[in-house]
Amino acid sequence: MKTTRLFLCLVAFLSATLAGNRADADELVRFESAPVKLSPFRIRKANEQGENLPQPQGTPLLGYLSRPQGDGPFPAVVVLHGCEGMRLSINELWPKRLVSWGYVVLVVDSFTTRNIKDTCQSYLPDRVFDAYGALNFLSKQSFVDISRVALMGFSAGGTATLEGTKIEGNEQLMDHKFKAAVAYYPVCAASQGDATVPILILSGERDNWSPADRCRKRLARLSDDSPPIELNIYKGTYHDFDAPEFKVGRKVLGHIEKYNPDAAEKSIRSVYTFLQKYLSN
Protein backbone atom coordinates (compact mmCIF):
# COMPACT_ATOMS: atom_id res chain seq x y z
CA MET A 1 0.00 0.00 0.00
CA LYS A 2 2.78 2.39 0.92
CA THR A 3 4.52 1.61 -2.37
CA THR A 4 1.31 2.33 -4.28
CA ARG A 5 0.78 5.63 -2.46
CA LEU A 6 4.39 6.62 -3.09
CA PHE A 7 4.00 5.82 -6.78
CA LEU A 8 0.77 7.84 -7.05
CA CYS A 9 2.37 10.80 -5.29
CA LEU A 10 5.32 10.62 -7.66
CA VAL A 11 3.01 10.55 -10.70
CA ALA A 12 1.07 13.54 -9.35
CA PHE A 13 4.29 15.46 -8.74
CA LEU A 14 5.65 14.76 -12.23
CA SER A 15 2.32 15.67 -13.83
CA ALA A 16 2.21 18.99 -12.01
CA THR A 17 5.81 19.72 -12.94
CA LEU A 18 5.27 18.94 -16.61
CA ALA A 19 2.07 20.97 -16.65
CA GLY A 20 3.92 23.94 -15.22
CA ASN A 21 6.54 23.72 -17.98
CA ARG A 22 4.14 22.97 -20.80
CA ALA A 23 3.76 25.61 -23.51
CA ASP A 24 0.39 26.92 -24.51
CA ALA A 25 -0.73 25.54 -27.87
CA ASP A 26 1.01 27.21 -30.78
CA GLU A 27 -0.84 30.31 -31.89
CA LEU A 28 -0.81 31.41 -35.51
CA VAL A 29 -0.11 35.15 -35.55
CA ARG A 30 0.08 37.74 -38.29
CA PHE A 31 2.47 40.67 -38.53
CA GLU A 32 4.53 42.53 -41.11
CA SER A 33 8.21 42.57 -41.89
CA ALA A 34 9.94 45.75 -40.80
CA PRO A 35 9.53 48.34 -43.56
CA VAL A 36 12.63 49.53 -45.38
CA LYS A 37 13.08 53.03 -44.02
CA LEU A 38 13.87 55.90 -46.35
CA SER A 39 17.33 57.36 -46.01
CA PRO A 40 17.71 60.94 -44.72
CA PHE A 41 19.19 61.87 -48.13
CA ARG A 42 16.13 60.54 -49.99
CA ILE A 43 13.77 62.38 -47.66
CA ARG A 44 15.73 65.63 -48.04
CA LYS A 45 15.74 65.41 -51.83
CA ALA A 46 12.00 64.72 -51.88
CA ASN A 47 11.35 67.76 -49.69
CA GLU A 48 13.49 69.93 -51.95
CA GLN A 49 11.52 68.78 -54.98
CA GLY A 50 8.13 68.97 -53.31
CA GLU A 51 7.67 65.22 -53.75
CA ASN A 52 5.28 63.27 -51.52
CA LEU A 53 6.88 59.98 -50.62
CA PRO A 54 4.60 57.03 -49.78
CA GLN A 55 4.92 55.58 -46.28
CA PRO A 56 7.09 52.43 -46.45
CA GLN A 57 5.13 49.23 -45.91
CA GLY A 58 6.21 45.84 -44.68
CA THR A 59 5.38 42.42 -46.15
CA PRO A 60 2.52 40.50 -44.45
CA LEU A 61 3.92 37.45 -42.66
CA LEU A 62 2.74 34.51 -40.56
CA GLY A 63 4.35 33.24 -37.39
CA TYR A 64 3.91 30.53 -34.80
CA LEU A 65 3.92 31.84 -31.24
CA SER A 66 4.56 29.63 -28.21
CA ARG A 67 4.96 30.77 -24.63
CA PRO A 68 5.43 29.47 -21.09
CA GLN A 69 2.48 29.59 -18.76
CA GLY A 70 2.22 32.72 -16.65
CA ASP A 71 2.09 36.46 -17.12
CA GLY A 72 5.79 37.07 -17.65
CA PRO A 73 7.38 39.17 -18.91
CA PHE A 74 9.59 36.44 -20.36
CA PRO A 75 12.71 36.62 -22.49
CA ALA A 76 12.04 35.54 -26.07
CA VAL A 77 13.60 33.98 -29.15
CA VAL A 78 12.73 34.77 -32.78
CA VAL A 79 13.40 31.75 -35.02
CA LEU A 80 14.16 31.85 -38.78
CA HIS A 81 13.82 28.68 -40.87
CA GLY A 82 16.13 27.58 -43.69
CA CYS A 83 15.74 27.58 -47.47
CA GLU A 84 13.45 24.51 -47.39
CA GLY A 85 10.92 26.27 -45.16
CA MET A 86 9.23 24.91 -42.06
CA ARG A 87 10.24 21.47 -40.82
CA LEU A 88 9.69 19.40 -37.69
CA SER A 89 12.74 20.40 -35.67
CA ILE A 90 12.26 24.11 -36.31
CA ASN A 91 8.50 24.38 -36.02
CA GLU A 92 8.00 21.87 -33.19
CA LEU A 93 11.10 20.53 -31.43
CA TRP A 94 13.02 23.77 -30.93
CA PRO A 95 9.94 25.79 -29.80
CA LYS A 96 9.05 23.13 -27.20
CA ARG A 97 12.64 23.03 -26.02
CA LEU A 98 12.96 26.80 -25.75
CA VAL A 99 9.62 27.17 -23.98
CA SER A 100 10.68 24.53 -21.45
CA TRP A 101 13.69 26.75 -20.76
CA GLY A 102 11.40 29.71 -20.06
CA TYR A 103 11.38 31.58 -23.39
CA VAL A 104 8.58 32.90 -25.55
CA VAL A 105 9.20 31.66 -29.11
CA LEU A 106 8.09 33.19 -32.41
CA VAL A 107 8.90 31.07 -35.48
CA VAL A 108 8.71 33.26 -38.58
CA ASP A 109 7.17 31.78 -41.72
CA SER A 110 8.83 33.74 -44.53
CA PHE A 111 7.33 31.67 -47.36
CA THR A 112 3.56 31.17 -47.12
CA THR A 113 2.44 34.76 -47.64
CA ARG A 114 4.96 35.14 -50.47
CA ASN A 115 3.73 31.96 -52.19
CA ILE A 116 7.23 30.49 -52.02
CA LYS A 117 7.87 26.75 -51.66
CA ASP A 118 11.62 26.92 -51.08
CA THR A 119 14.59 29.12 -51.95
CA CYS A 120 17.38 26.54 -52.04
CA GLN A 121 18.04 27.42 -55.69
CA SER A 122 16.53 30.91 -55.86
CA TYR A 123 16.67 34.31 -54.21
CA LEU A 124 14.52 35.39 -51.27
CA PRO A 125 13.97 39.05 -50.33
CA ASP A 126 16.08 40.20 -47.39
CA ARG A 127 14.83 38.21 -44.40
CA VAL A 128 16.56 40.54 -41.98
CA PHE A 129 13.42 42.67 -42.22
CA ASP A 130 11.29 39.61 -41.38
CA ALA A 131 13.29 39.12 -38.19
CA TYR A 132 12.86 42.72 -37.10
CA GLY A 133 9.17 42.65 -38.00
CA ALA A 134 8.85 39.73 -35.59
CA LEU A 135 10.74 41.72 -32.97
CA ASN A 136 8.36 44.65 -33.46
CA PHE A 137 5.42 42.28 -32.99
CA LEU A 138 6.88 40.93 -29.75
CA SER A 139 7.43 44.47 -28.47
CA LYS A 140 3.65 44.86 -28.34
CA GLN A 141 3.11 41.75 -26.19
CA SER A 142 2.89 42.37 -22.45
CA PHE A 143 4.27 38.91 -21.64
CA VAL A 144 7.57 39.60 -23.48
CA ASP A 145 10.56 41.45 -22.05
CA ILE A 146 11.60 43.20 -25.25
CA SER A 147 15.03 44.02 -23.79
CA ARG A 148 15.81 40.28 -23.69
CA VAL A 149 15.13 38.83 -27.13
CA ALA A 150 17.52 36.67 -29.16
CA LEU A 151 17.50 35.93 -32.88
CA MET A 152 18.05 32.29 -33.87
CA GLY A 153 18.35 31.00 -37.42
CA PHE A 154 19.06 27.75 -39.25
CA SER A 155 20.97 27.45 -42.52
CA ALA A 156 19.69 30.32 -44.72
CA GLY A 157 17.95 31.60 -41.60
CA GLY A 158 21.28 31.47 -39.81
CA THR A 159 22.85 33.48 -42.63
CA ALA A 160 20.07 36.07 -42.25
CA THR A 161 20.75 36.07 -38.50
CA LEU A 162 24.36 37.05 -39.11
CA GLU A 163 23.31 39.70 -41.63
CA GLY A 164 20.83 41.13 -39.15
CA THR A 165 23.42 41.48 -36.40
CA LYS A 166 26.42 42.85 -38.28
CA ILE A 167 27.75 46.32 -37.62
CA GLU A 168 26.67 48.99 -40.11
CA GLY A 169 23.93 46.70 -41.39
CA ASN A 170 20.16 47.22 -41.43
CA GLU A 171 20.08 46.70 -37.66
CA GLN A 172 21.04 50.35 -37.20
CA LEU A 173 17.77 51.40 -38.89
CA MET A 174 15.54 49.44 -36.50
CA ASP A 175 13.68 50.77 -33.49
CA HIS A 176 14.13 47.61 -31.42
CA LYS A 177 17.33 45.56 -31.17
CA PHE A 178 18.13 41.94 -30.44
CA LYS A 179 20.18 41.13 -27.35
CA ALA A 180 22.00 38.07 -28.74
CA ALA A 181 21.99 35.72 -31.72
CA VAL A 182 22.39 32.01 -32.48
CA ALA A 183 23.20 30.75 -35.99
CA TYR A 184 23.11 27.07 -36.89
CA TYR A 185 25.26 26.19 -39.95
CA PRO A 186 25.09 29.65 -41.61
CA VAL A 187 27.10 30.90 -44.57
CA CYS A 188 29.59 33.27 -43.00
CA ALA A 189 31.26 36.17 -44.78
CA ALA A 190 34.48 37.82 -43.69
CA SER A 191 33.10 41.11 -44.99
CA GLN A 192 30.41 41.10 -42.30
CA GLY A 193 33.01 42.36 -39.86
CA ASP A 194 32.12 43.09 -36.26
CA ALA A 195 28.86 42.04 -34.65
CA THR A 196 26.33 44.22 -32.84
CA VAL A 197 25.49 41.54 -30.24
CA PRO A 198 27.10 38.38 -28.84
CA ILE A 199 26.71 35.51 -31.33
CA LEU A 200 26.94 31.73 -31.10
CA ILE A 201 27.68 29.93 -34.39
CA LEU A 202 27.30 26.15 -34.60
CA SER A 203 28.80 24.41 -37.64
CA GLY A 204 29.55 20.92 -38.90
CA GLU A 205 33.13 20.06 -39.86
CA ARG A 206 32.04 18.19 -43.02
CA ASP A 207 29.36 20.70 -44.05
CA ASN A 208 30.20 21.78 -47.61
CA TRP A 209 26.98 23.81 -47.90
CA SER A 210 27.93 26.18 -45.09
CA PRO A 211 31.71 25.73 -44.69
CA ALA A 212 32.96 26.38 -41.18
CA ASP A 213 36.23 27.75 -42.53
CA ARG A 214 34.43 30.86 -43.75
CA CYS A 215 33.28 31.50 -40.20
CA ARG A 216 36.84 31.10 -38.94
CA LYS A 217 37.94 33.77 -41.41
CA ARG A 218 35.29 36.17 -40.19
CA LEU A 219 36.31 35.69 -36.58
CA ALA A 220 39.94 36.31 -37.51
CA ARG A 221 39.00 39.76 -38.79
CA LEU A 222 37.00 40.93 -35.76
CA SER A 223 38.19 44.07 -34.02
CA ASP A 224 38.83 44.26 -30.30
CA ASP A 225 35.61 46.26 -29.93
CA SER A 226 33.28 43.60 -31.36
CA PRO A 227 30.89 41.74 -29.08
CA PRO A 228 32.08 38.14 -28.73
CA ILE A 229 31.38 35.57 -31.45
CA GLU A 230 31.68 31.96 -30.33
CA LEU A 231 32.23 29.33 -33.04
CA ASN A 232 31.57 25.66 -32.22
CA ILE A 233 32.60 23.20 -34.94
CA TYR A 234 31.49 19.58 -34.51
CA LYS A 235 33.81 16.93 -35.97
CA GLY A 236 32.45 14.50 -38.53
CA THR A 237 29.11 16.30 -38.89
CA TYR A 238 27.17 17.59 -41.87
CA HIS A 239 24.47 20.17 -42.52
CA ASP A 240 21.30 19.91 -40.33
CA PHE A 241 23.16 17.89 -37.70
CA ASP A 242 20.65 18.95 -35.01
CA ALA A 243 17.57 17.76 -36.96
CA PRO A 244 16.36 14.22 -36.07
CA GLU A 245 14.15 14.15 -39.17
CA PHE A 246 17.40 13.51 -41.09
CA LYS A 247 18.50 10.41 -39.14
CA VAL A 248 18.92 8.46 -42.37
CA GLY A 249 20.64 11.35 -44.11
CA ARG A 250 20.11 12.63 -47.62
CA LYS A 251 21.89 14.50 -50.39
CA VAL A 252 20.39 17.78 -51.63
CA LEU A 253 21.97 19.69 -54.50
CA GLY A 254 25.23 17.89 -53.86
CA HIS A 255 25.20 18.58 -50.12
CA ILE A 256 24.71 16.00 -47.35
CA GLU A 257 22.14 16.65 -44.62
CA LYS A 258 22.44 14.23 -41.70
CA TYR A 259 21.49 14.16 -38.04
CA ASN A 260 24.23 13.56 -35.49
CA PRO A 261 22.80 12.90 -32.02
CA ASP A 262 26.05 13.55 -30.16
CA ALA A 263 26.70 16.86 -31.92
CA ALA A 264 23.02 17.79 -31.58
CA GLU A 265 23.08 17.27 -27.81
CA LYS A 266 26.33 19.20 -27.40
CA SER A 267 25.00 22.08 -29.49
CA ILE A 268 21.74 22.18 -27.52
CA ARG A 269 23.67 22.45 -24.27
CA SER A 270 25.75 25.27 -25.79
CA VAL A 271 22.60 27.14 -26.86
CA TYR A 272 21.11 26.72 -23.38
CA THR A 273 24.23 28.11 -21.71
CA PHE A 274 24.58 30.94 -24.22
CA LEU A 275 20.97 32.12 -23.85
CA GLN A 276 21.18 31.88 -20.07
CA LYS A 277 24.28 34.05 -20.13
CA TYR A 278 22.94 36.81 -22.33
CA LEU A 279 19.17 36.81 -21.73
CA SER A 280 19.11 36.36 -17.96
CA ASN A 281 18.11 39.29 -15.76
- DSSP per-residue string spanning the chain: -HHHHHHHHHHHHHHHHHHHHPPPPPEEEEEEPPP-PPPHHHHHHHHHTT--PPPP-PPEEEEEEE--SSS--EEEEEEE-BTTB--HIIIIIHHHHHHHTT-EEEEEE-SGGGT-S--TTS----THHHHHHHHHHHHT-TTEEEEEEEEEEETHHHHHHHHTTBTTSGGGG-SS--SEEEEES----GGG-SBSS-EEEEEETT-SSS-HHHHHHHHHT--TTSPPEEEEEETT--BTTT-GGGSS-EEETTEEE---HHHHHHHHHHHHHHHHHHH--
Q: Give the pLDDT confidence score for residue 12 in this predicted structure.
A: 39
Residue 86: strand pairing partners: none
185 lies in a domain? yes
**76 pLDDT higher than 50:** yes
**48 pLDDT higher than 90:** no
Q: Give the pLDDT confidence score for residue 226 in this predicted structure.
A: 94
**161 pLDDT higher than 80:** yes
- Specify burial of residue 15 (Cβ count, 10 A radius: 0-12, 13-18, 19+): exposed
CATH number at residue 94: 3.40.50.1820
236 lies in a domain? yes
Q: Residue 26's pLDDT band (boundaries 50, 70, 90)?
A: confident
**175 pLDDT higher than 90:** no
265 lies in a domain? yes
Domain count of the fold of the chain: 1
Q: Give the pLDDT confidence score for residue 47 in this predicted structure.
A: 64
Instruction: For residue range 91-145, list pLDDT tens digits in order.
Output: 999 999 999 999 999 999 999 999 888 787 777 768 999 999 999 999 999 999 9
11 lies in a domain? no
4 lies in a domain? no
User: Shortest CA distance to 84 belongs to which of 133, 121, 134?
Assistant: 121
- Alpha-carbon gap, residue 141 to 150, rounded angstroms: 16
Q: Residue 251's pLDDT band (boundaries 50, 70, 90)?
A: confident
Q: Give the pLDDT confidence score for residue 11 in this predicted structure.
A: 33
What is the side-by-side strand order in the sheet with 229-234? 27-32, 60-66, 104-109, 74-80, 144-154, 180-184, 199-204, 229-234
169 lies in a domain? yes
- When comparing pLDDT for 123 and 163, which is higher? 163
110 lies in a domain? yes
Domain range for 125? 27-279
**Helical pair 156-163 and 128-139, crossing angle rounded to 10 deg:** 70
2 lies in a domain? no
Residue 149: strand pairing partners: 76
pTM metric for this prediction = 0.84
